Every structure is written in structure tokens, then in C-alpha cells.
Structure 1
Amino acid sequence: MSVGGWQSILVLGGIRSGKSDYAESLVTGDPVVRYVATGAADPADAEWLARIEKHRARRPADWQTDEVTGDPGRLIETISSARADETLLVDDLGGWVAALLDPARQPADDRATIAELTAAVRSCPARLVLVSPEVGLALVPSTPVGRAFADALGLTNQLLAEVSDTVVLVVAGQPVQLKSTGPAATATVTSGDPGEPTEPTEPKQTATVTGPEPGEPTGPEPPAAANGSNTAAQITAGMTLPMPAERTRTAGVARLGRLDLPGAGFGALENVIGFAAGTQDEASPRPWDQVQVVLIHGDHDGGVAAGDSPQDSARRADQAGAGDGALARLAATAGAVVDVVAAPGAAPIEHRPALTAAEVDSALATGWEVAQRAGRAGVAAIVIAACGAGAAGAAAAVVAATTGAEPAALLGRVPAAGGKVDDAAWMSRCAAVRDALHRTRRGTHGAREVLAEYAGGDIAVATGVLLGATANRIPVLLDGPVGVAAALVSRDLAGQARHWCLLPDHGRQPTVRHAADVLGLTPLLDLRLDLGEGATALAALPLLRSALTLADTLGEHPTFAEPEPAGPGPAAAGPAAADPVR
């Protein structure tokens, strides 16, 4: 079996299951591989030393080996400091948990250390393969030490499975895919001798929705709308969409080290260049010349809109449509086009669902079609923005429902006229979100249910835009609570969507900060602007374009220039030919 489209993968398996062989087969051929060993060598155990030596002997000679035995913090530091142009293979987490439980480091907060490892994996820029024993299929150990090991390793596996793109369970040499955000694949592995690597067969990939061929801007047809029109694709849970080209992203970042720059490099903007390289499948990506801002206007009733005015949100939408206001002026400066999209209003979520099922389908279809039009027009990037009353409160409800976060920690202060803060409005928003979560505590929380119960039309339309943009291989710049809430919902419909998202800034909004952390999106900047959704992304756009332009147009430093071949002439014939007298 071969899997594709992953940035991080967790490979589980029992003893002698073939999990290490399978993990090694995933990274064979990668340009820079670091094998991170966690098992400590015991000089008194000859059989264990022989196993370690066998593992070393079968690794390619160009792999680097890092020993991180003894101190659990060393693995966390290794993953946190990994570079985007390398691949890390960690084998295995059983050794790490053994070091974690070592009596010499007790008492210690082991759960906190496991959480630190999870955070490091979530934010790791490198390709990451984690190998771990599966202990959930065995009997409960009969000793306290054994039970502590099983509990700690089981918790570690659960948390890492949550943040990893793909999870594979290897049983008797046969890998079974448990979770995937990449293309679905089926194939078999022929198991070799114990301890010997096996070669994976070519995968047979299947996709329900695919992006356009190179040079073709059109993507799949929009999903069926509420009017029942027949279309070729449906937005359903588990739909398979394209992934950015990971190897090209890595090559794009690696290429920056060869450019003729007077300083140390691009700093945090390396991330935007790698992102653009992967989404364009070009190691030297082009600047985004044609950018479309999708401003979604849909109001919310009830407590989530406390402190907001529907009349003011309508005025903002009209301003943008007429080319006036902060968003439209920033768009004009950046050469972007603003498309104002109307979304259905949402009912008070503390009392009943925000939308009906039919309204959810219609809003998703609307967003999908917006992205389809952008693809046909050759749009290079989309900025998602929103201006509805209650949008921030509804987005906080979606994030709380999908991540389990406390609503009060997600809802930011509510600004009022004259630079004041409306604390009463903030309390009303908190109460509305908590009441909505309590009302639905016994219900299901699939993507469509989340959109219906809490999201409203604006977040549902934004979700459709994200999915449609992914299908058309168009990167999306998120800016504000509505965009990140839609990204969380999109993740549960098609895990590939979040890999097409870039977060220029968090805007100091707690909802955005938390959702970005869950999605694994690192903000590029900290401008501390608060000009409305979409405005910060547009303010940052010229800087992002400048970085892409430099990366695309600068030549290599002379150090890396190829030496010119010697031309024909007398000197090439040697000393005797240079002196005709001889």
C-alpha cells in the first residue's frame, strides 16, 4: 500500500508487524532523511544490540541518524527544529514513552510532555513519519508499570493520530489506512523476512473530485443545489480533493538557499514561498497576479449578534460593492477584485438551528459555484472575508463545537463606538453560544450538522468556497473568524482543504488563534490590524507578492554557478602544442 498527500503520518503496529519496514518504504528516495532513533542500547543485552545493528545496516547510507534516547525533551526539540526541506522518520514512540516513565525523572507531568510532543508534531514544517506500537489490542498488563506504559502510549497514539494527516495500522505486514487527508489508495505489501524492508506496489488511486489539468482553469461541476439540479459532484463527507505538491514545496524552500541575497534570507516569508510552490507545483512560484476577495454578507439573529447592527453590516456590504470603504480601497491598492456574496440569514442558535438542511445545501452550492467561476476566470488566489452581524459569535460557536474549546476563551471583546468595549454584549454572546452547545449536547456533530446548528449562511458559503477552491487548486488566504471556522468544517468534509489555506495574520482574535492551532496554520505576520475581515490579508498581500517576486526573479549566488567548460584552442592541447619550436 502507498499513501500520498501527507505531511505527517502515524504508522501503528504490533511487535514484528512490519511497521518499521513500511515506514521506511514511505521515505525511500526523499532527498534528506533523518532517522530519529528512540531506543536506548543496553550493553548487557546482546540480542537487543543485534536488532539495533540490523536496523542500522538496512538504512540507506545517505540517511542521517539522530539518537534521542533517555531524555523525552530531545525528541520534542528535534521535531520542533526540523527544516521544511527534510524528512524525519521517528522509530519508535515506544522507546520515547519508556524514557518518559523512567523513575529517574519522576515525579513529572507526563501528560504535559505528551501535549508538548503533539504540539511539535502539529507545527512541524518537515515531512514527518512517526512509528508507534499499538497496545490497544493486547490484554491489560498485570503489573502497575505495564499498565502505566500502556496508558501513556495509548494516550500518545490518540493525540498524535488526531494531528497527523494520515494514520496507518500495519498487521502481519499488511497496512490498513485508518485516516487520510490525501488521495484514497489501495495496494498490497508483500512481506519479506522479519526485519527486512519490503517494497510497496504502485497504488491504485481513486478520486471522487479532481482539480483541472495543467492549463485548464475549470474544475468539477458545482454540487446539487436546493433546487434539485443535476450536477456531476456532491459535497459529501470524505470527498477526495487535490493536495499541493509536497516535493515541489520542499524544493521551492530549498532553492531559496541558493539565491543571490545579501542577507540571511526570507525569514518567516519562506513559508509563503513554500506554500505557493506547492500549490502551483513550481519550485519557482509566480506572484499572485489576479486575486479575488469573496466578501460574504449574512446576518445572525439572537445573542451571538449582541453589539452588532444588521443595518451597519448591510452598509458595509453596499460600500464594498460600490468600491468604497476600507476593504474595497485596500483591494484597489492591491489590484484585487471584490465579489460580494449574499448568504441566508441565521436563526438564534440558542433556541433552534441556524439553518435548515436545505439552506445548508444551497449555501454550500453557492460557495462552490463562486470558486468555480474564479477557476474559470484564472484567479490565482482567493481572500475570504465576511461582514455579517453576529458572524464572530457564530464562528466561535462552530470552533467550540468542533474542538471542545470553552466559548468564553474564544469570544473576543466587543468594540463599541468611541473606542470603548461593550462587556454586556460579550456576556450575551457567551451565553448564546453556551446555550446552543447545551441544546445540541445529545446530537450528532458531523460537518453538515455543525453548519445547520451553529454556523449560519456565511460560514456555510465560506465552506463551499474553500472546497471549490481546493478542487480548482486555488490557494485561499484566510482572514478572520468566519474563514477559520469554515476551514474547520471543510476539514471534516475533505481533509485536503486546509493544505490550500494560508493565514497571513491572526488579528489578535482568540477564535482565529485557537482554530489556527488546531488546523496547523502558522500566522505569517502580527500586524495587529483590526479593520474588518479580509482587510488584514489585503494589507499583507503586497508584502507576500514582493517575497514571491524576489524568489522568482533572483538568480543564484555565484558560489553555485556551474564552471564554464574550457573552449578549444592551443592551450587545450597541452604544453607541447603551445610551443611549435619543439
Structure 2
Amino acid sequence: MLGGIRSGKSAYAEALVAGAPSVRYVATSAGGEDDPEWRGRIEAHQRRRPQSWTTEETGADPGRLAAVLAEAKPDETLLVDDLGGWVATLLDPANQPNDDVATVAALAEAVRACAARVVLVSPEVGLSLVPATPVGRAFADALGTANQALADACDRVAFVVAGRPAWLKTAAAEPGIVTDLQAVEATAPLPAPAQVTIATPVAAPVAPAVAAPVAPAQVTIATPVAAPVAPAVAAADPGEAALPVDTVIEPGMDLPLPDSDSGPDARDRLERLDLPGAGVGVLLEAVEFAAATQSTAAPRPWGPVRVLLIDGSHAGGATAGADPAESGRRAAQAEAGTGALAQLAAAADADIAVVRVPASGAMEDGPVLDEAGVEAGLRQGWELAFAAADAGREALVIGACGAGTQAAATAVVAATTGAEPVAILPRVLVPGGRYDDEAWMRRCAAVRDALHRIRQEPRGAKDVLAQLGGADLAVATGALLGAAARRMPVLVDGPVGIAAGLVARDLSSQSRHWWLLADAGRDQLVRQGADVLGLTPVLDLGLDLGEGANALAALPLLRSAIALASALPVHPALLTAPGDDGLSDAADDEDDEDDAAEASDEAFTEPEPRGPGPASA
């Protein structure tokens, strides 16, 4: 993977190996201790990598890279990032005298002989000016020689510009590495969900419709009084295969990805529509997301939505300042169709599935959940997402109302991203609009003690859930994975949704492409976790209505933008003839635009100048 500075080559290389069951990240850069800016770049790369990947540092010894390739096993995937750091170390005076050409040749031979799958990232220096210093010229010459040797040794070579790859050399498809050139997905889209009709009373508040309990959690589905239903999203091809509901949930699981072309196509299409102004502004992000998840350049707004409201309590310092009965009251409100969440759900054509999960232990004292509880929670969430899809729900919203969930989410985010807990733990707000700073300090102490307790423990996705997250985060994580398996978009919202997203990403990196962050609210935890996940908030409303409620409040606005992108015709100035209905697809759009441009060129005549002026050729 070749590319210039900030070209997106590293991110694209990481995406290539996202579906591999085992990835070893080989870091070649050395130093940075005295350079905060360089150290910040390294840390940004570290935060972006899934926790399930292993990392090997070879910066101190350039010869070590060839040895790592020689030792690799056939079932491994190696991501080497990058050769620029390797060449810089090779040319370091501390490693001279050395036959640099022979070392480069040995590395190329090690790549050819490597039994594992290997992806190498390298800067392209051939497009810049010749460096002004002897050291700079030596580096450019050495890196250019290395790039040529490695390009000859590799099966495929891509040049990345502005995040988009241009494939310079191709070969047959290779298992575990998927390129847009191959257009291969391991899992096909799902069949259309079963049609389910739910009668909704109009004159009186809706009595909750109770579903059968699902072990180990208790699930109640309440249908608030609904607003007019938005147009339904087109169903998937019934002939396409679905992931089975009994799929094993484990690190490295392979889930489908949204269509990478439909989002940019929707952006291009929107520029030609008959909008009275300059466009939909920041809501373009929602239009592109809907287009990618629906695999069409003309997405339609989501129809009925399901809110998973997870009620699970924690013990110990995580619940400092919390009323133990408050979470139960909120859950009961949602079931009865009252309260803020139910009111917003009624306006957004959403029902609410209240999921009561077993209580989790005190994180500062020991694991909050055993291994069986983690597996049960993941399975529960996975099945809840499948049930929502089968019931005709077209999007999912994750919410939580349990005591101690914010502290548990803080601990998970800190453990997976390296964030400082005191910087991201939300303040404790008690009834009456008063902040309880003493309770906040007790929660901080519980998170600090928990992180200290697990400092030498494994940090795999399921380990984090068992040690810190608990049953509610396990259910939320399973729901995010299940929604991705069913190609269902998810509006993540609040600390629990973001923390569960970080864990779900480490189980399947493809899953994060199915999530949309409508509004980050005022929580630093949400903003920092979203940044690591690569989720940019569509809106900046600063909402703080509670988990799930923020997304429901923004949902009608998102639907409106998507509806405009779907329903509006092309602008008359871009039509080929009067009465033209507009563009039926992206190809027709381009043809009409070309025809309009040609007609415009033929009709244009340069006016004769009046008075003296510069002579023209």
C-alpha cells in the first residue's frame, strides 16, 4: 500500500485485513520520546487498532523485520506499517556500516517466502521535490529502491490518494484479504424480514404488548402511540443468504459491510437535485450512511424503529449517588408508554423493548460477570437484533437506564482506548439539577481501582466485558453485532452504546460501519470513544435527554433529509428536455449532465468587447 502523507494508506491497509481472524501489527517506527507530535501520531494509530490485534515492535533492529516474516505461520496475517520507518532505522548511523542494498533484497526475499498473508504500508516519495540535504536524498533513494523491490515481491500493489486506492498490480483473490477491486464479501445480504402488523390504539394510551421472556434477560416490548409511518426501506433480495441466528460470537468473526460506492454516489446525486438552497448541510452524513446501508444512491428514510432499553444494575462504587429505584421507574415508564423516552418513541414511529438483565458485581472487587454470563449476554443481544429485524424494524437504537452504567462504560472506554477516566467520566446529576461531586469522586475511585486490578490481565473483548462491563454492556455488544449481521443500521447513543461499540469492534471490525452517531451530547466519554471508532456526530445539538432519547429526538430530522434525497427530482436546468422526469440511477445522472453540458457549449457565443481592451487570440 503506497501513498503520500495523510493519504489514508494506513487506514486502508487496516481495512483490508479487518476480516482476518488473527492480525499481527508490526510497528517499524523508532524514537518519538522527545517529540510529542510524533508520539501523538503513534498513539493515534494505536487507538485505531482493534484490541484483538497483537503488536510487535521492530524499530530498534531493521534486520528483525525479515526474521518476523520468516517466523510467521500460514494462518497469520501481518500488517507492516511502515517501510518509511524501517528505512529510516536502516540508515541510522548507529546501524552503519551496513550493506543497505543487500538488506533490502533480503527483506524482499523474506516477503516472497513468507507463509503468512502480509500487507506492507510505505510512503511514496517519488512525486515530491528532490530533497535539499544529502541525508534527505539518501532516504528518498533508499526508500524508492525498497518500494520497487517490495512491489516486485508482492502479489498486489495499490497507490492510495485521498483515501481511495488505485490498484497498480493485481493477482487472484486471496482468502482473508478483501479489496474493492475483487468486490468480494464473505457474507451476502439477508432475506426480507417477515411482515408483522401491530395494532396501535389511537384514542387512549397504548397498553404494552408483552413478549415471552427470553433467558437470561426479561424482555418487554411496548408500542407507544405512533406518528405517521415513514416510507419503508426496500427489503433485501429474498434470494440472498442470511447469517444463522446460532452463529458463534467470537473475535475475528466475519460480518457484512455496507456498500462502499453507494454513499459517494448519493452525495453526487444530491448535488443535482431540485433543492431550493445549497443542500442539506451536515445532514449529508446521514444521507450517505443510509445510502451505504441500503446499497442504493437514492436511499429512503427508515420505517419503524426499535429501541433496546437495557436495564441492568451494577454494584459497588459505580453506583455512588444513584437511586437504586430510579432505573426500575424509568423502565416501567417506558413499558407504560409514559415518560420522555416513550413520548419521543411515539413521535419517531418506534417501539421500545425493555430488556432486564442480571445485576453485575463491583468492578473494584473482582470480575463483574463470569464467562457464562458474558456468553449469555452476547447471545441475548444478538437474538434481540435478529428479533427486531424479523419484526420488520428497519433500524435499532441502543439505550440504557441501569444504575452504575456510566461508570462501567467509562472503565471499558478507558481500558480499550487508554483514555484517562477522570477526563471522561460523566458528572453525577441528581434530581433538582444539582451535581453530586462527592459521588463522582467515589465513582472515579471505583474505576481507578478496577483498572489497577486488571493491569496485568488480558484485554480481549470478552475479558473486558467480564472484568468491567457487565451484563448490560454484553447485551448491548451482542445487539450491535447482530444488527450488523442483519444489515440493520444502528443509532448509537450515550456511554453504553459507545462502550459496547468499542467491544463489538474488537469482536468484528466490520460492525462499526453499520452505526451512526446522530448527536454526541455533552459527554466527553461519547466524543472520545466515537473518535476512536471513527464515528463523526451528524449533529451538534448537545442533547442530554438520556441514553436512546437523544437519537430518537434527532431521528425525525434525519428522516427528513433522507426523504428529500429520495423524493426530489433533478433540477430542471440539468434535464435534457422539457418533461424529463429526471434521473433513474447514477448512470442516467451522468448522461443527462453530459448532454446538458454539451448543449450549453453549443449555445454559448463569446460576446464582442465594447471599447478598448486586451486583444484576444
Q: Scaled by the length of structure 2, what TM-score is found?
A: 0.63
Q: Report the equivalent of 2:111.
A: 171
Partner residue in 2 for 1:184: none
Among residues 484, 498, 511, which one is paired with 1:470 in the alignment? 484
CA offset at residue 201 of structure 1?
Answer: 2.3
Cα 1:256/1:443, change in 2 over 3 Å: same
Distance, in Å, in 2 between the alignment partners of 1:406 and 1:116 is 14
Q: Structure 1 210/464 Cα, relative in aligned 2: closer, same or farther at 3 Å?
A: farther
Give the drift of 1:563.
4.0
Equivalents in 1 of 2:546, 2:398: separation in Å? 12
How far apart in 2 are the matches of 1:302 and 1:114? Answer: 37
Task: Provide the rounded CA distance (Å) in 2 between the counterparts of 1:345 and 1:246.
Answer: 40
Distance 1:454 1:141, change over 3 A: same
For 1:440 and 1:131, locate their aligned partners in 2 and report how far apart those are by CA, in whole Å: 29
Question: Deviation per CA, 1:498-556, whole angstroms, max 9, x where unpaired?
Answer: 11000011111111011001001011112222221111100000000000000000011
Instruction: Work out whether 1:405 is the aligned partner of 2:346.
Output: no
- The separation in 1 between residues aligned to 2:319 and 2:96, in whole angstroms, is 52
Tell me what 1:54 maps to. none
Match of residue 199 from structure 1: 170
Structure 2 CA distance for aligned equivalents of residues 401 and 478 of structure 1: 20
In structure 2, the partner of 1:143 is 93
Matching residue of 1:220 = 243
1:42 counterpart residue number: none
1:302 to 313, 316, 325: 316
Secondary structure at the counterpart of residue 169 of structure 2 = coil
Kept in 1, the 8 Å contact 2:304–2:392? The answer is yes
Secondary structure of the residue that 2:355 maps to in structure 1?
strand
1:91-490 equivalence runs, <5 A: 110-111=37-38, 114=41, 132-133=82-83, 135-136=85-86, 141-143=91-93, 171-172=111-112, 176-177=117-118, 197-203=168-174, 211-213=189-191, 214-216=236-238, 219-223=242-246, 233-490=247-504
Q: How many residues align?
A: 426
Q: How does 1:80-99 map to 2 (within 5 A)?
A: none
Q: Is the contact between residue 355 and residue 452 of structure 1 (CA under 8 Å) also seen in structure 2?
A: yes
Aligned counterparts of 1:239 and 1:466: Cα–Cα separation in 2? 13
What amino acid is the match of 2:190? P
1:194-218 Cα offsets, whole Å, 9 max, x none, are xx94233245579876541433499
Q: In 2, are the aligned partners of 1:173 and 1:191 still within 8 Å (CA)?
A: no
Amino acid at match of 2:111: V
The verdict on how the C-alpha distance between 1:116 and 1:442 changes in structure 2, with shifts beyond 3 A counting, is closer
CA contact (8 A) 1:173 1:190 kept: no
Distance in 2, Cα, partners of 1:361 & 1:113: 36
Identity across the alignment (%): 47
CA RMSD of aligned residues (A): 3.7
Q: Is the contact between residue 263 and residue 297 of structure 2 (CA under 8 Å) also seen in structure 1?
A: yes
Match of 1:151 in 2: none
CA contact (8 A) 1:208 1:239 kept: no
Shift of 1:113: 7.4
Q: What amino acid does structure 2 have at the position aligned with 1:143?
A: P
Deviations 1:10-61 (Å, cap 9, x if unpaired)?
x3xxxxxxxx4xxxxxxxxxxxxxxx7x5xxxxxxxxxxxxxxxxxxxxxxx
Task: State the TM-score, normalized to the length of structure 1.
Answer: 0.66
Q: Residue 309 of structure 2 contacts residue 353 of structure 2 at CA under 8 Å; is this kept in 1?
A: yes
What are the residue-to-residue correspondences of 1:419-568 with 2, within 5 Å? 419-563=433-577
Q: Secondary structure at the match of 1:358?
A: helix
Contact 2:189 2:237 in 1 (8 A): no
Q: Deviations over 1:451-505 (max 9, x none)?
A: 0000011110000000000000000001100000000000000001111000011
Conserved 8 A contact 1:284-1:552: yes
